[in-house]
Amino acid sequence: MEVALLSWFDHHGRDLPWRRTRDPYAILVSEVMLQQTQVERVVPRYRDWLERWPTANDLAGAAPADVVRAWQGLGYNRRALCLHRAAQIVAREGWPADLTELPGVGTYTAAAVRSFAWDEPVLPVDTNVRRVQERTGLTFSAAAGQALMDLGATVCLARIPRCDACPLASGCPSRGRRYEPLRRQSRFEGSFRQRRGLALRLVVERPRRLLELDAEAVRSLAADGLVAVRGEEVALP
């Protein structure tokens, strides 16, 4: 079945810029950006980021404020500072044997860098890969990582899979099934996350007086290192 999957991927795989490199830094950038952010939004931002900071050394030398500014629009801004700190560690000490020692790098991201940059025999299991594995009951080698991601993202969809277009359908025990959403996504409108985002956007524009901002949101942003409070002024770090 893996042969059929890889053949399908040869014809239907997505042409994504981070698939044209073996640079572990570039792949790490893509993986961090892709956490909870759609591919379509990431592609142009990934290109802009690498044009500005093409190596880990370049990013390591950037000011945190510039990193936060460059991340605007991708959401979950803590990822930007984690990526910045990871680049500083790599620039100073090289890549650690255990990539999960880097800030913001979990088991999946570490596996993705090891597989896609260094061709290590490890299968990165994200939500899409896990879905295909669970529905088919099949096991796959590391060589099928990108193909499984694309199959889960474009064919083996979360709620209504496109089984008629699936290269694994003939032997899939879940063929034809439909699925209820696993959980309702919490409302963004009026959420604390929205309040944090608004406060950060205002500070990105220019330093602000604390009285102009949502104090609770500022405290949360400061705790994450995304803003610095100096007396009555709030600015980027």
Q: What is the pLDDT of residues 44-69, one digit of tens each?
A: 999 999 999 999 999 999 999 999 99
pLDDT of 182 > 70? The answer is: no
Mean pLDDT, range 93-99, rounded to an integer: 97
Structure tokens at 50: 């690498």
Element (H, E) at 235: strand 233-235
- Position 47 scores a pLDDT of 98
Mean pLDDT, range 174-188, rounded to an integer: 79
Mean pLDDT, range 193-211, rounded to an integer: 92
Q: Which residue has the tokens 């007086």?
A: 209
- Verify whether residue 31 is a known catalytic residue: yes
- Position 181 scores a pLDDT of 76
Distance (Å, rounded) from C-alpha 235 to C-alpha 230?
A: 8
pTM above 0.85, yes or no: yes
Distance (Å, rounded) from C-alpha 210 to C-alpha 212?
A: 5
Tell me which residue of 101, 167, 87 sits closest to 132, measured CA to CA.
167
Catalytic residue among 31, 189, 205, 216: 31
Q: What is the pLDDT of residues 146-155, one digit of tens each?
A: 999 999 999 9
In which band, very low, low, confident or very high, does the pLDDT at 89 lie, cut at 50, 70 and 90?
very high
- For 70, other C-beta atoms within 10 Å of its C-beta total 18
Mean pLDDT, range 210-231, rounded to an integer: 93
pLDDT of 186 > 80? The answer is: no
pLDDT of 183 > 70? The answer is: no
Query: How much of the chain exceeds pLDDT 70, in percent?
Result: 97
Query: How much of the chain exceeds pLDDT 90, in percent?
Result: 90
The overall average pLDDT reported for the chain is 94
H-assigned helices in the chain: 2-12, 24-34, 39-52, 56-60, 64-71, 78-93, 107-118, 127-136, 145-154, 192-205, 215-223
Give, rounded to a whole angstrom, the gap between the first and last alpha carbons of the chain. 51
Domains of the chain, each with CATH number or no CATH: 1-11+124-182 (1.10.1670.10), 23-118 (1.10.340.30), 192-235 (no CATH)
Tell me which residue of 201, 181, 186, 192 sits closest to 220, measured CA to CA.
192
Tell me which residue of 142, 127, 123, 93 sits closest to 102, measured CA to CA.
93
- Position 5 scores a pLDDT of 97
Distance (Å, rounded) from C-alpha 81 to C-alpha 74?
A: 13
Structure tokens at 184: 């309702």
How far are the Cα atoms of 23, 62, 142, 157 from residue 128, in angstroms, in the given order?
24, 34, 15, 8
- Position 75 scores a pLDDT of 87
pLDDT of 171 > 70? The answer is: yes
Tell me which residue of 60, 43, 50 sits closest to 26, measured CA to CA.
50
